[in-house]
Amino acid sequence: MNLRLRISQIRKSHNGDRVLDDCSFFFEQGGVYVLTGPNGSGKSTLLRICALLERPDSGEIAYFLGQERLEDNIFLRRRVTLVLPQVGIFNTSVFNNISYGLRVRGAGRSEIEQKTAEMLAFSGLTQKRGQNAPSLSSGEKQRMGIARGLVIEPEMLFLDEPTASIDETNTRLIEEMILEKKKQGITMIITTHDRAQAERLADKLLMIRDKKLVSVPA
Ligand SMILES: Nc1ncnc2c1ncn2[C@@H]1O[C@H](COP(=O)(O)OP(=O)(O)OP(=O)(O)O)[C@@H](O)[C@H]1O
Ligand SMILES: [Mg+2]
């Protein structure tokens, strides 16, 4: 596991308005990068671009394995995952939601059972395995979303506001999940409005200021 991401001179406009201008950064393997910035400053846009879900107008997204530059293809896309707040919850059980990524990748039954059970335990949702996902509380939904992103064992995980409108208990649980995965060497790029949370989690603090990505001294 040694996936690194370099973004160079990223520019992006939405409807003619420049959102990101000349954003450059090198995300090294391992550790937690936390991105803050006011509403509408382009955090989610930058995350989608990094996760290869949206193209910049100009600039370059380059993933590296060691020194080797990777092509943008399905193998690379399997290594990176973006988790959005409470988006795309399927109207089926928690188990089926979490195992979704394994099923679309054609995993076998026992692998699906084992890895999903692991993620249910990791997210504290073992008791909720058979519950219909839309009926979960918002904190549980958020934990489920992270479990669903992690089940395919990505090397880079992007979390867009993982604790927005979540109570203290669930926020703590989610922060524990993040710190546990960090120990396993996954690189994470997380957006948050919670400055105290940013300081708790971040190895490196980043901010979008005047459309540019800047490093904030700890
Ligand atoms: N698909 C889109 N189409 C048009 N405009 C968009 C689109 N996505 C984002 N924008 C605009 O780009 C700007 C940046 O939005 P973005 O969601 O990236 O900001 P953000 O920093 O994540 O904000 P927040 O803190 O509220 O989540 C906003 O003005 C937004 O309206
Ligand atoms: Mg956002």
pLDDT digits (tens, 9 = 90+) for 133-148: 999 999 999 999 999 9
- Ligand 2 is a single-atom ion; what residues have CB below 5 A from it? 43-44
pLDDT of 19 over the 90 cut: yes
Query: What tokens were used for 6?
Result: 């370099």
Domain contains 183: no
Range of the domain at 94: 90-153
- Considering every ligand atom, which ligand is closest to the CA of 193? 1
Domain contains 125: yes
Q: Are 30 and 200 in contact (CB under 8 A)?
A: no
pLDDT of 93 over the 80 cut: yes
Domain contains 98: yes
Query: What tokens were used for 112?
Result: 């699906």
pLDDT tens for 163-187 read 988 999 999 999 999 999 999 889 9
Domain contains 166: no
- Closest residue CA from atom 25 of ligand 1: 39
* pLDDT number for residue 2: 85
Domain contains 40: no
pLDDT of 74 over the 90 cut: no
DSSP notation for 127-146: GGTTSBGGGS-HHHHHHHHH
Domain contains 144: yes
Domain contains 10: no
- Closest residue CA from atom 31 of ligand 1: 40
Domain contains 8: no
Domain count, the chain: 1
- Considering every ligand atom, which ligand is closest to the CA of 207? 1
Task: Cite the DSSP H helix spans in 25-108.
Answer: 43-50, 74-77, 94-104
